Amino acid sequence: MKNSTAGRILITNNDVIIIAMNYSDKLKAVLSPIERKIFSKLNSPKKIQDYLDTLPINFEIGKETYMSPRRVIQNQTAHCFEGALFACAALAYHGRKPLLLDLVTIDRDEDHVVALFAENGLWGAISKTNHPILRYRDPVYKSARELAMSYFHEYIMDDGTKSLRRFSAAFDLSRYSPLKWVTAEEELDWLVEALNVYKHLSVAPPSAIRKLRKASKLEVKAINNTEWPAPKVQFRKCAK
């Protein structure tokens, strides 16, 4: 048996049998040497999160962006969607499923996207954010719903409104070639739209939502700390 990023080749009795590549092999085959070096070091969710934490927030100065992991490496910046894609690429590089979780809010707030991972049957999440909330989740949750609900009381607005309303089922990026989302040079608007129309579930029935208590002033004050200072001019408010 011979192995390479181009696939696996089995030679028996002068016959050559080409075995289809797994997704990790396909991803490695389209990466540059520098990209492979970066991803090879990020062999755990904690290391992926540590790497993302070093990148300044992408405030989308001048225009809206949905960059691929390749462009995140080139530009050394990311917002939540771009960070989640980068995390998924790193997970896939090491043979894990590249799964997104979309957190959807009321219209006047910003949605958030994280990368899901599972360890020993429990779920965790990798997150790129500029605030002390909506961050990394250790793998202690029994389901993706349980993990999504862990964000509910953190997802608050300046007036105290708790804004999280829906979350997606796990969105598997391995349905797409790595060329389409890992190394693409164009904006990934098509992928944002695919995630938007994917199956979503409500966090609670309308009767429960109507009875929600607003967050306290202390809670609101706590969420307004930021890691990276916002420039005076930006395309839109970056998601929490």
What's the average pLDDT block by block, 10 residues per block, for the chain (240 residues)? 47 60 97 98 98 97 96 98 98 98 97 98 98 97 98 97 98 98 98 98 98 97 92 60
The encoded tokens of residue 9 equal 């080749």
> Residue 232: its pLDDT value, please?
75
Question: Cβ contacts of residue 219 below 8 Å, gap of 6+?
Answer: 156, 160
Q: Which helix (H) or strand (E) holds 139?
A: strand 137-141
Residue spans of the domains in the chain: they are 22-223
pLDDT of residue 6: 44
Check residue 166 and give its pLDDT: 98
Over the Cα atoms of the chain, what is R_g? 19
pLDDT at 117: 98
Task: Report the C-alpha gap between 77 and 71 in whole angstroms.
Answer: 9
Alpha helix stretches (DSSP H) within the chain: 23-30, 33-41, 45-54, 69-75, 80-93, 144-149, 178-181, 189-196, 206-210, 217-223
pLDDT at position 15: 60
Closest CA to 118 of 94, 96, 88: 96
Torsion over CA: 156, 162, 168, 169 (sign): positive
User: What is the pLDDT, as a whole number, of residue 111?
Assistant: 98
Tokens of 198: 């994917």
C-beta neighbour count of 214 within 10 angstroms: 13
Q: Report the pLDDT value the prediction gives residue 2, as an integer from 0 to 100.
A: 43
- What is the torsion angle, in degrees rounded to the nearest 10, for the CA atoms of residue 224, residue 225, residue 229 and residue 234? -20
How far apart, in Å, do the first and last CA atoms of the chain sit? 48
Q: Determine the Cα–Cα distance for residues 37 and 33; give it in Å rounded to an integer.
A: 6
Give 44's DSSP letter. S
